[in-house]
Amino acid sequence: MSIRSDKAVDPIVRGSYFKCYREYNKSRKRKKREFKQKILDSLDGLREDNPKEYWNLIKSLKDDKKEGPEKTVNTNVWYTYFKSLNKIPDKYKSRINQIDKILKNMELSHSFNELDFRITSKEVLDTIFSRCKNRASVVFVVPMSRWKSTMTVYLEDFLLEIVNYFEISKYDFKIKILEYSPTSRAKSKFLTSRKSANTEISSIGTKRTKIKTNGIYLKPVLEDAFEMLNVTTEIYRKKVIVIFLNNIIFDQTASSWYAKYMKQTGVVFYVVTSFKRSLDTAMNLASDPCKAFVVDDYKSGMDDVISDLGNNICLASDPRLAVTSGPDTLGNCNIGILYKPPETETHFFCAKDGLFPDPLNCAYFFKCTRGTSVHLKCEAGNMFDARTHTCNHKMAVTCYTGVSCPDDTGLFPYPNDCFKFLNCFQGMPYVQPCPSGLAFDKIVKRCLLPMHALC
* pLDDT for the residue 355: 92
User: Are both 380 and 452 inside the same structural domain?
Assistant: no
CA distances to 44, 324, 327, 371 from 315, in Å: 69, 7, 13, 42
Q: Is residue 78 part of a domain?
A: yes
* pLDDT for the residue 391: 92
CATH number for position 210? 3.40.50.410
Q: Is residue 341 part of a domain?
A: no
User: Are both 142 and 104 inside the same structural domain?
Assistant: no
User: Are both 147 and 296 inside the same structural domain?
Assistant: yes
Whether residue 321 contacts residue 3, with contact meaning beta carbons closer than 8 Å, is answered with yes
Range of the domain at 50: 11-119
Q: Is residue 329 part of a domain?
A: no
The per-type count for the chain, helices as H runs and strands as E runs, is 12, 18
Q: Is residue 339 part of a domain?
A: no
User: Are both 408 and 263 inside the same structural domain?
Assistant: no
User: Are both 193 and 254 inside the same structural domain?
Assistant: yes
Is the torsion defined by CA of 27, 30, 32, 35 positive or negative?
negative
Q: What is the pLDDT along the chain (455 residues), one digit of tens a residue?
A: 334 434 445 555 556 666 777 888 888 888 888 877 776 676 666 767 777 777 776 676 566 544 444 455 677 777 776 666 667 777 777 877 887 787 777 666 654 454 444 555 565 555 555 777 878 888 998 887 654 455 666 778 888 888 888 888 878 888 888 888 777 788 887 788 888 888 888 887 665 555 556 678 888 888 888 888 876 556 667 888 999 887 777 788 888 888 888 888 888 888 888 766 667 778 888 888 888 888 776 666 677 778 778 888 887 776 555 444 444 434 456 665 567 777 766 678 888 899 999 988 999 999 999 888 898 999 888 899 888 889 988 888 888 888 888 888 889 998 888 888 988 888 788 888 898 889 999 888 899 988 888 88
Residue 436 — left, alpha, or beta (φ > 0 → left; ψ -120 to 50 → alpha)?
A: beta
Of 84, 119, 154, the residue that ends a domain is 119
User: Are both 153 and 182 inside the same structural domain?
Assistant: yes
User: Are both 115 and 136 inside the same structural domain?
Assistant: no
- Centroid of chain to Cα 98: 44
| Cα 195 from Cα 398, distance rounded (Å) | 13
| Cα 394 from Cα 406, distance rounded (Å) | 19
Q: Is residue 33 part of a domain?
A: yes
User: Are both 81 and 49 inside the same structural domain?
Assistant: yes
> What are φ and ψ of residue 127, in 5° steps?
-75, -40
Q: For residue 132, give the nearest of 163, 176, 177 by alpha carbon.
A: 163
* pLDDT for the residue 326: 47
Q: Is residue 342 part of a domain?
A: no
* pLDDT for the residue 123: 56
User: Are both 156 and 226 inside the same structural domain?
Assistant: yes
Of 368, 393, 418, the residue that ends a domain is 393
Q: Is residue 421 part of a domain?
A: yes
User: Are both 388 and 407 inside the same structural domain?
Assistant: no
| Cα 229 from Cα 268, distance rounded (Å) | 11
User: Are both 196 and 302 inside the same structural domain?
Assistant: yes
pTM: 0.63
Of 119, 149, 169, the residue that ends a domain is 119
Whether residue 391 contacts residue 383, with contact meaning beta carbons closer than 8 Å, is answered with yes
Q: Is residue 337 part of a domain?
A: no
User: Are both 301 and 355 inside the same structural domain?
Assistant: no
CATH number for position 440? 2.170.140.10
* pLDDT for the residue 365: 93
**Total count of domains within the chain:** 4
* DSSP letters for 205-219: TSS----S-SEE--H
Whether residue 445 contacts residue 434, with contact meaning beta carbons closer than 8 Å, is answered with no
